């Protein structure tokens, strides 16, 4: 018989679920837990909505706890079904769909709603807030058919929405009621620097503007301002603030003011009912930043676990942000007031601004722009209230004047273990230390283990510093995260910058992102070429000079300097006509050797470079891409067409797959196979993706490798039809294309991210269709490269003069 107390959480957002995470960690299994969420999603990171809007992340990328987390912790979850009634006498809640659940303890984490200005016309189509996934989807859909967007509100939320809309191709104007944008986080100097940066990115600003009305009939057509001026707009995003969602509490008779009133233990005015997060009002204050909400959740978890706790005493606010690629930090009282002194450092060329505010020998506020690496140190001093006499310039500059550089590790050593390093995810210095002790040795591993730097990325320098501190003596140096020696930027940072800044060429990426080597190297140039093509499949023109020699010449260079030519033979199935054509070319050009490959094709070996154009022209066959980071072969057996053991048409399935995905550029080479029965004659279970026929369907296996380190593939899914094979294969390959590192084979990628994570990412049919649409869009823009060359006389003439780009890895 189950005697556990029943705990019901209303709200599936960051604050409420964070409370449960703490509770499950310190007192697992003491409650029977039920969670109700208004949105049809698992718990996700709302801070990352701007990345979703900007196209840098999908829903699967911002999920904090996926469906399996609830199952593993035995939590009943109702999504898309908000609680509509609380009966405090019977101690039960009722959802919109009629689900009735009793409780012993009730936790309200209903969050907040976007504040919609009470303007004439605010109810028109095209007026939205920016608060959840649905708002992002509305903006993305609108951008397909409309081009003029207005964002009311020049705070952080408004600028994030504007950046995302700009990336969607809209003409964006930000309207702000005050003179300086982000005036709640930045002083005048930092605000002006930020505005100039954003204007260069394409944003327009109207400041000191008060909106009077929204014009249009059924749909918005524009804005009217109090000064009589007007602005055309067919999408209006309200980003002027949030209001705590207290409607449910009010209807249940729970005491409220602006928010649900709570004491230091997050208890409401009714015994057994608690509130946490943006809906809660503590000592007259409601908080909208995530760090205070996580602090509240930690206190409440201890209370629910029966532990002693001093309670929640309120939070000193700090903000570490990345606004459109610009790092910003502010904390405490950062504006000049009577009785305060301030020190400033401003570098207009380098885009760096620093300011500290001092009162009675104590640091009370700070603003950092462009370089936020000292933010945590300054915030710690603001909270501690210790004297900083004699250290003012050192704190401003990050090192003592007259010294080459302060020892950053000393500063990090002095940081208390409970100091929050990652405000987005509530990760402390101590959490980083525990992760390193558990074996994490790179930023990626720290990110996967603790979620530190996994959201806005503003804390990345601090996390890297702590990683160096904890591993320096042991490993000698921090594991570098850059894709090569030319840059310290990793894959995610580079792709994010390409999307956010609209970078469209390898040279532009290198210049804008400050490559240490202006021409790049054999590692980064091909990688950037791939990333640009992946991000901009229809707009990017492939740069031949950034491809390896093999890919430029569409043939494999051999040890004697000659080349190997492999025409495509779909599924290993050829015809007498094609065989004659290959034979005739081999005779005419005195090809020394013609060999059958392991991928069921014919390889013409020993070809001279100057003969390549003529050979390809006379073959008039697609390239088999035996040289590139692309789809190589689809190996097949004869299947049920001839074999008495075959259960499905393996040749037909293989040819369909090969014709669908030929010319697909990828982070590394990709090999497929189709076996007509479980006897697996086509060796499908050691391929990047293998399809094995079974009675009444197909099994799809992924992550195999038959190379130096043999790896058996794992079952991704079982499907019934060939169309389903195509859908799952397209979705899987596109997900790999978008998520893997350059040069990373699927076997290594699957090992790194885990098959379950991939299954979860592809579980939703709508997500699979989106991935398939993207790979189809990419493939629609590609043609067989030799067909371009043999029909372009100028290119053909200059072909053999292309500069070499060789690599030991090609």
Structure confidence by residue, pLDDT tens digits, 88-107: 999 999 999 999 999 999 99
Q: Are 195 and 205 in contact (CB under 8 A)?
A: yes
pLDDT band at 370 (very low <50, low <70, confident <90, very high): confident
Query: Cβ–Cβ contacts within 10 Å for residue 513, how many?
Result: 19
pLDDT at 478: 44
Q: Which residues, including other chains, have CB under 8 Å from residue 512's CB and lie 6 or more apart?
A: 497, 501, 503
Q: Residue 122 and residue 220: Cα distance in Å, rounded?
A: 9
Q: Which residues, including other chains, have CB under 8 Å from residue 712's CB and lie 6 or more apart?
A: 685, 686, 704
Record the tokens describing residue 603, joined without a space: 């390889």
Taking residues 245-269, report their average pLDDT: 97
Query: Cβ–Cβ contacts within 10 Å for residue 474, how many?
Result: 8
Bridge partners (DSSP) listed for residue 623:
567
Question: Is residue 800's pLDDT more than 50?
Answer: no
User: Which of 240, 256, 277 is the C-terminal boundary of a domain?
Assistant: 240
Domain membership flag for residue 367? no
Known binding residue 459? Answer is no
Alpha helices (H) along 332-484: 375-384, 392-397, 408-414, 429-437, 443-450, 460-475
Record the tokens describing residue 276, joined without a space: 């946490």
Question: Is residue 400's pLDDT more than 50?
Answer: no
Same domain, 643 and 768: yes
Query: Cβ–Cβ contacts within 10 Å for residue 775, how many?
Result: 22
Domain membership flag for residue 311? no
Domain membership flag for residue 500? yes
Same domain, 675 and 776: yes
Give per-residue pLDDT as tens, 704-741.
Answer: 988 656 788 999 999 999 999 999 999 999 999 999 98
Domain count, the chain: 4
- E-state strands within 506-592: 556-557, 563-565
Taking residues 761-780, report their average pLDDT: 92
Domain membership flag for residue 586? no
CA pseudo-torsion sign 463, 465, 471, 477 = positive
Q: For residue 800, give the nearest of 561, 585, 590, 586 by alpha carbon.
A: 561
DSSP one-letter code for 540: P
Record the tokens describing residue 705, joined without a space: 């490798």
pLDDT at 2: 59
Question: Is residue 233's pLDDT more than 60?
Answer: yes
Taking residues 542-560, report their average pLDDT: 72
Same domain, 776 and 634: yes
Average pLDDT, the chain: 85
Same domain, 505 and 541: yes
CATH of the domain at 688: 3.30.413.10
Sheet holding 556-557, edge to edge: 556-557, 563-565, 602-607, 593-596
Q: Say if residue 38 is exposed, middle or buried (CB neighbours under 10 Å; 0-12, 13-18, 19+).
A: buried
Q: What percent of the chain is predicted at pLDDT more than 70?
A: 89
Q: Which residues, including other chains, have CB under 8 Å from residue 483's CB and lie 6 or more apart?
A: 489, 490, 491, 494, 523, 524, 527, 741, 742
pLDDT at 226: 94
> Judging by DSSP bridges, how do beta strands 204-207 and 171-176 pair with one another?
parallel
Q: For residue 322, give the nearest of 139, 168, 171, 493 by alpha carbon.
A: 493
Same domain, 758 and 651: yes
Q: For residue 186, give the nearest of 417, 416, 367 by alpha carbon.
A: 367
Give per-residue pLDDT as tens, 200-209.
Answer: 888 999 999 9
For the ranges 218-232, 358-372, 611-625, 641-655, the lowest mean pLDDT is seen at: 611-625
Q: Residue 578 and residue 574: Cα distance in Å, rounded?
A: 7
pLDDT at 296: 94
Same domain, 254 and 107: yes
Give per-residue pLDDT as tens, 740-755.
Answer: 988 889 998 998 888 9
- Cα–Cα separations (whole angstroms), residue 359 to 37, 435, 614: 45, 38, 80
Q: Residue 760 and residue 270: Cα distance in Å, rounded?
A: 40
- E-state strands within 239-290: 242-244, 260-262, 273-275, 280-282
Domain membership flag for residue 329? no
Q: Name the range with the highest mean pLDDT among 231-240, 559-568, 636-645, 675-684.
A: 231-240
Same domain, 234 and 166: yes
Q: Are 214 and 184 in contact (CB under 8 A)?
A: no
Taking residues 272-297, report their average pLDDT: 92
Taking residues 279-283, report their average pLDDT: 96
Known binding residue 456? Answer is no
Same domain, 236 and 155: yes
pLDDT at 797: 46
Query: Cβ–Cβ contacts within 10 Å for residue 668, how many?
Result: 21
Same domain, 88 and 179: no
The number of residues in the chain equals 810
In 3-state terms, the chain is what percent helix, strand and coil (to 5)? Answer: 35, 25, 40
pLDDT at 420: 73
Domain membership flag for residue 101? yes
Q: Which 3-state string (H, E, C) describes 425-467?
A: CCEEHHHHHHHHHCCCCCHHHHHHHHCCCCCCCCCHHHHHHHH
Taking residues 618-646, report their average pLDDT: 86
For the ranges 460-474, 482-496, 679-693, the lowest mean pLDDT is seen at: 460-474
Same domain, 297 and 220: no
Domain membership flag for residue 79? yes
pLDDT band at 565 (very low <50, low <70, confident <90, very high): confident
pLDDT at 794: 47
User: Which of 511, 546, 581 is the C-terminal boundary of a domain?
Assistant: 546
Q: Residue 545 and residue 75: Cα distance in Å, rounded?
A: 55
Same domain, 235 and 253: no
Q: Say if residue 624 is exposed, middle or buried (CB neighbours under 10 Å; 0-12, 13-18, 19+).
A: buried
Range of the domain at 533: 491-546
C-alpha atoms less than 13 angstroms from C-alpha of 275 in its C-beta half-sphere: 27
Which residue did the predictor score with more confidence, 647 or 781?
A: 647
- E-state strands within 483-630: 556-557, 563-565, 593-596, 602-607
Same domain, 169 and 54: no
pLDDT at 94: 97
Known binding residue 643? Answer is yes
Give per-residue pLDDT as tens, 663-699.
Answer: 899 998 999 999 999 888 988 999 999 999 998 899 9
Which residue did the predictor score with more confidence, 801 or 134?
A: 134
Known binding residue 521? Answer is no
Q: Are 314 and 450 in contact (CB under 8 A)?
A: no
Q: What percent of the chain is predicted at pLDDT more than 90?
A: 43
Give per-residue pLDDT as tens, 420-452.
Answer: 777 667 788 888 888 888 877 777 678 767 878
CATH of the domain at 293: 3.50.50.60
C-alpha atoms less than 13 angstroms from C-alpha of 82 in its C-beta half-sphere: 12
User: Which of 196, 217, 240 is the C-terminal boundary of a domain?
Assistant: 240
Q: For residue 558, give the nearest of 626, 649, 512 by alpha carbon.
A: 626
Dihedral angle at the C-alpha atoms of 205, 208, 214, 216, nearest 10 degrees?
-50
Q: Which residue has the tokens 């000193």?
A: 316
Domain membership flag for residue 373? no
Q: Which residues, including other chains, have CB under 8 Å from residue 457's CB and lie 6 or more apart?
A: 322, 493
pLDDT at 709: 66
pLDDT band at 480 (very low <50, low <70, confident <90, very high): very low
Q: Are 73 and 30 in contact (CB under 8 A)?
A: no
Q: For residue 762, give the nearest of 749, 771, 751 by alpha carbon.
A: 771
Give per-residue pLDDT as tens, 333-369.
Answer: 888 888 899 999 888 777 889 999 999 999 999 998 8
Question: How large is the greatest C-alpha to C-alpha distance in the chain, in angstroms?
Answer: 94
Q: Which residue has the tokens 């037909």?
A: 652
């Amino acid at each position: 018989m189950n005697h556990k107390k029943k705990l019901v959480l209303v709200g599936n957002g960051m604050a409420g679920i964070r409370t449960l995470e703490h509770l499950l960690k310190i007192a697992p299994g003491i409650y029977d837990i039920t969670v109700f969420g208004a949105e049809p999603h698992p718990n996700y990171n709302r801070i990352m909505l701007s990345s979703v809007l900007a196209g840098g992340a999908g829903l699967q990328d911002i999920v904090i706890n996926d469906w399996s987390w609830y199952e593993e912790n035995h939590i009943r979850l109702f999504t898309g079904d908000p609680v509509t009634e609380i009966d405090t006498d019977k101690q039960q809640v009722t959802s919109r769909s009629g689900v009735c659940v009793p409780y012993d303890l009730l936790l309200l984490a209903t969050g907040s709603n976007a504040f919609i200005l009470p303007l004439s016309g605010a109810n028109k189509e095209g007026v939205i807030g920016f608060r959840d996934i649905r708002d992002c989807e509305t903006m993305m859909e609108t951008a397909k058919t409309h081009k003029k967007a207005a964002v009311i509100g020049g705070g952080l939320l408004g600028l994030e929405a504007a950046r995302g809309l700009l990336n969607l191709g809209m003409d964006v104007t930000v309207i702000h009621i005050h003179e300086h944008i982000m005036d709640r986080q930045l002083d005048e100097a930092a605000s002006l620097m930020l505005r100039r940066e954003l204007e260069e990115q394409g944003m327009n600003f109207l400041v000191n503007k008060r909106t009077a009305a929204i014009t249009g009939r059924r749909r918005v057509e524009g804005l009217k301002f109090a000064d009589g001026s007007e602005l055309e707009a067919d999408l209006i995003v309200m980003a002027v603030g949030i209001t705590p969602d207290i409607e449910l509490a009010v209807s249940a008779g729970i005491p409220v003011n602006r928010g649900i009133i709570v004491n230091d233990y997050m208890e409401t005015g009714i015994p057994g009912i608690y509130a946490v997060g943006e809906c809660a009002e503590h000592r007259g204050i409601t908080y909208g930043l995530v760090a205070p909400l996580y602090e509240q959740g930690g206190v409440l978890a201890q209370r629910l676990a029966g532990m002693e706790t001093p309670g929640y005493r309120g939070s000193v606010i700090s903000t570490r942000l990345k606004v459109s690629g610009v790092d910003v930090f502010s904390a405490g009282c950062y504006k000049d007031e009577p009785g305060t002194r301030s020190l400033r450092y401003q570098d207009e060329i380098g885009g760096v601004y620093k300011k500290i505010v001092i009162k009675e020998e104590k640091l009370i506020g700070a603003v950092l722009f462009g370089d936020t690496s000292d933010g945590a140190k300054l915030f710690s001093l603001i909270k501690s209230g210790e004297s900083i006499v004699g250290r003012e310039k050192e704190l401003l500059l990050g090192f003592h004047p007259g010294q080459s550089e302060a020892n950053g590790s000393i500063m990090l050593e002095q940081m208390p273990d409970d100091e929050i390093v990652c405000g987005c995810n509530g990760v402390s210095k101590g959490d980083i230390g525990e992760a390193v002790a558990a074996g994490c040795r790179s930023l990626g591993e720290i990110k996967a283990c603790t979620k530190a730097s996994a959201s806005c990325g503003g804390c990345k320098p601090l996390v890297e510093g702590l990683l160096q501190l904890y591993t320096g003596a042991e490993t000698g140096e921090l594991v570098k995260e850059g894709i090569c020696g030319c840059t310290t930027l990793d894959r995610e940072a580079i792709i994010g910058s390409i999307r956010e800044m609209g970078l469209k060429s390898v040279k532009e990426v290198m210049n804008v992102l400050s490559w240490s080597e202006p021409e790049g190297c054999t590692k980064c140039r091909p990688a950037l070429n791939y990333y640009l093509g992946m991000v901009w499949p229809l707009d990017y023109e492939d740069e031949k000079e950034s491809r390896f020699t093999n890919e430029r010449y569409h043939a494999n260079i051999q040890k004697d300097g000659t080349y190997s030519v492999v025409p495509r033979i779909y599924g290993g199935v050829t015809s007498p006509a094609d065989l004659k054509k290959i034979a005739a070319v081999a005779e005419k050009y005195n090809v020394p050797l013609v060999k059958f490959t392991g991928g069921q094709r014919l390889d013409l070996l020993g070809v001279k470079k100057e003969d390549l154009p003529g050979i390809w022209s006379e073959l008039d066959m697609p390239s088999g891409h035996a040289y590139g980071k692309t789809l190589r072969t689809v190996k097949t057996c004869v299947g049920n067409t001839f074999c008495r053991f075959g259960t499905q048409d393996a040749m037909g399935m293989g040819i369909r797959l090969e014709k669908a995905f030929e010319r697909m550029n990828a982070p590394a080479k990709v090999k497929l196979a189709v076996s007509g029965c479980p006897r697996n004659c086509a060796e499908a279970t050691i391929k990047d993706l293998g399809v094995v026929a079974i009675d009444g369907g197909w099994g799809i296996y992924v992550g195999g490798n038959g190379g130096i380190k043999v790896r058996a593939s794992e079952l991704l899914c079982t499907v019934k039809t060939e169309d389903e094979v195509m859908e799952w294969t397209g979705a899987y390959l596109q997900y790999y294309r978008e998520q893997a590192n350059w040069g990373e084979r699927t076997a290594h990628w699957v090992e790194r991210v885990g098959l379950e994570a991939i299954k979860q990412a592809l579980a939703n049919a709508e997500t699979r269709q989106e991935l398939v649409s993207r790979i189809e869009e990419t493939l629609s823009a590609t043609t067989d490269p030799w067909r371009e060359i043999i029909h372009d006389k100028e290119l053909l003439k200059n072909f053999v003069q292309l500069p070499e780009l060789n690599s030991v890895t090609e």
